[in-house]
Amino acid sequence: MTAPGDGPRGAVIERENPSRTSELVGTVGVSGPERVDALVRRADAAQRSWAATGIARRLAALAAGADAIAGRLEPLAELLARESGKVLADCRGEVGFAGTYLRWVVEHAPAAYADREIDDAAGRLLRLPRPYGVVAAITPWNAPIILTLLKVAPALAAGNAVVVKPSPLAPLAVSEVLRLLAGALPDGTLAVVHGDAAAGAALVGHPLVRKVAFTGGGVAARQVAATAATQTTPVVLELGGNDAAIFLPDADLGTEPMRRLVLASFATSGQVCMAAKRLYVHRDRRDEFVAAYRAAAAEVLRVGDALTPGVSMGPVISAGAVARIERIVAAAVARGATALPLGTVDGGTDLAGGYFVAPTLVLNAPDDAEVITGEQFGPTVPLLLYDDEEELLARVNADELGLGGSVWSADEERAFALARRVEAGFVFVNTHNRTGLSLRAPFGGVKRSGYGREYAEEGLAEYAQTCVVHAPGPFRPGGAGLPANAYPG
């Protein structure tokens, strides 16, 4: 189901290995507008019979797809590691978690998408959760498989057809996952198109697309929302964050929490929407924190080729990302900050041969430095000091992004009280990033981090619209009737 090279001059996307940029991992053909149109039309034609199939058969197909993916876990994880530079253990985790999520959907979709009928004195009311039709899923490169399945699985379960456009920076493993899943489905129900913004815009603006689910950055999100608006197509936007990790004065700075915190910032080389991107520590514990943090980083952070056993941090995604992150750190240093190097380096890796960025903890950066105000999306994190909670909250909440955050404290009540006041869609307590996720907790941002939710019942609800059939009591056979212009009681 990978699109042939039918774009201008049969254009192809070549994906190199970020750990060893001289290695070509694979290619995909760019989908031109005719290809996008053909696949959306095919999906539209397939969708009605898919919806009519009934939920039990749809979920059986998803379960078969989950088994097919599980059977290919190892080669999929290796392909993902080679195209994205994410370390192999992370990639195994992502493929395995994608299967876990698929099975969660299979278990929970029957209740979420069930028709509900009330028949009483007030009337007979039928609530029907109906699919939208064709859903367009536009996804990023940093967790391409799970972020795609968070859209595809509930959308298919609800009876939609789906056309996915993955990021050109990691299109290979997710295409293989979609091929395996599509093998369990009727033809045309699930398709993939490839390319950059042009292919994405052709998909999002297609008149037969009835819903758009997007994960990515704010710039592309605004373009996607504007394109979707030309057809009045609803969108879900899952965007970036600038998560604060807040350490209250009583927080445990022991080995375990510090290891967890380091990886909350540096897993996937910091390229995670919900990474801990600003560390707020009480001024009195600064030296103790820096020492504990560096010691934990020395243990858990080993930089090198994503496929080398024992390496916990690979390269970043592209040469552009290297330049951007190095510029942000250099700009802070030029204004008086210090960038402390962290972790160790795998001796067998040729760092000059890949897109590697040395992990750093940035101290003493001014509050308006880009490493603090923007989403660095790379292996550097600033440490900020505070004196009291009100001043701290004002600084944390000053950010326009509101995806995640965390509060660390020995006193859970105190942590929850503060967490309630953090302007973010998901606040973790005593952890941060994926160790704090739960399949039963909805995930998504507030403010400029987007709208709509993934995971949990809310994530299922995004893919069905409740339609109603209603016979009001007064007008049912034997009813007392109402004046012609009456409001309901």
Of 16, 238, 375, 454, the catalytic one is 238
Site for ligand NAD contains 392 (CB under 6 A): no
- Residues 93, 123, 217, 374: which binds ligand NAD (CB under 6 A)? 217
- Residues 240, 315, 379, 436: which binds ligand NAD (CB under 6 A)? 240
Pick between residue 91 and residue 204 the one whose CB is nearest to ligand NAD: 204
CA distance 84 to 316: 8
- Residues 19, 31, 47, 142: which binds ligand NAD (CB under 6 A)? 142
- Where helices occur in 53-87 by DSSP H, the ranges are 55-70, 73-84
**Which tokens sit at 248?**
């209250």
Is 370 in the active site? no
Site for ligand NAD contains 165 (CB under 6 A): yes
**Which tokens sit at 295?**
């010691």
**Which tokens sit at 365?**
């950066």
In whole angstroms, the minimum distance from the beta carbon of 82 to ligand NAD comes to 18
Among the candidate windows 37-45, 82-90, 161-169, 283-291, which touches ligand NAD by CB under 6 A? 161-169
Site for ligand NAD contains 84 (CB under 6 A): no
CA distance 70 to 67: 5
Site for ligand NAD contains 239 (CB under 6 A): yes
CB 331 within 8 A of CB 290: no
**Which tokens sit at 404?**
């995640």
**Which tokens sit at 123?**
């009337």
CB 410 within 8 A of CB 425: no
Site for ligand NAD contains 379 (CB under 6 A): no
Interaction mask 442-481, ligand NAD, x per CB under 6 A: ---x------------------------------------
Pick between residue 43 and residue 316 the one whose CB is nearest to ligand NAD: 316
CB 403 within 8 A of CB 445: yes
CA distance 374 to 221: 16
| 3 state DSSP class of 324 | helix
- Residues 77, 91, 164, 220: which binds ligand NAD (CB under 6 A)? 220
Pick between residue 186 and residue 217 the one whose CB is nearest to ligand NAD: 217
- Residues 21, 27, 100, 223: which binds ligand NAD (CB under 6 A)? 223
- Where helices occur in 362-485 by DSSP H, the ranges are 370-373, 389-397, 412-419, 456-461
Among the candidate windows 156-164, 233-241, 302-310, 380-388, which touches ligand NAD by CB under 6 A? 233-241
The distance in angstroms from the start CA to the end CA of the chain is 54
**Which tokens sit at 471?**
């016979």
In whole angstroms, the minimum distance from the beta carbon of 202 to ligand NAD comes to 8
CA distance 9 to 141: 25
CB 125 within 8 A of CB 117: yes
Pick between residue 218 and residue 353 the one whose CB is nearest to ligand NAD: 218
Residue at shortest CB range from ligand NAD = 200
Site for ligand NAD contains 129 (CB under 6 A): no
| 416-445 binders of ligand NAD (CB under 6 A) | 445
Site for ligand NAD contains 139 (CB under 6 A): yes
**Which tokens sit at 283?**
């001024």
Vertex 268 angle, CA 180 and 108, to 5°: 45
Of 176, 273, 454, 462, the catalytic one is 273
In whole angstroms, the minimum distance from the beta carbon of 218 to ligand NAD comes to 7
In whole angstroms, the minimum distance from the beta carbon of 315 to ligand NAD comes to 15
- Residues 18, 26, 129, 140: which binds ligand NAD (CB under 6 A)? 140
Instruction: State the DSSP string of 32-59.
Output: -HHHHHHHHHHHHHHHHHHHHT-HHHHH
Residue with tokens 């299922």: 460
CA distance 322 to 327: 8
Measured CA distances, 463 to 207, 215, 445 (Å) = 18, 15, 18
Residue with tokens 């041969």: 353
Site for ligand NAD contains 216 (CB under 6 A): yes
Pick between residue 28 and residue 253 the one whose CB is nearest to ligand NAD: 28
Give one word for 10, left, alpha or beta, with left for phi > 0 and alpha for psi -120 to 50: left
Pick between residue 215 and residue 380 the one whose CB is nearest to ligand NAD: 215
Interaction mask 176-215, ligand NAD, x per CB under 6 A: --------------------xx--xx--x----------x
Secondary element (H or E) of residue 151: helix 144-157
CA distance 4 to 270: 33
CA distance 412 to 279: 19
Is 467 in the active site? no
Site for ligand NAD contains 273 (CB under 6 A): yes
Pick between residue 322 and residue 403 the one whose CB is nearest to ligand NAD: 403
CA 249, distance to chain mean position in Å, is: 32
Site for ligand NAD contains 224 (CB under 6 A): yes
Pick between residue 17 and residue 84 the one whose CB is nearest to ligand NAD: 84
Among the candidate windows 53-61, 152-160, 237-245, 253-261, which touches ligand NAD by CB under 6 A? 237-245
CB 190 within 8 A of CB 156: yes
Pick between residue 171 and residue 304 the one whose CB is nearest to ligand NAD: 171
Instruction: Kindly list the residues in this chain that would bind ligand NAD in the complex (CB under 6 A).
Output: 138-143, 147, 165, 167-168, 196-197, 200-201, 204, 215-217, 220, 223-224, 238-241, 273, 375, 377, 403, 445
- Give catalytic residues, as residue numbers: 238, 273
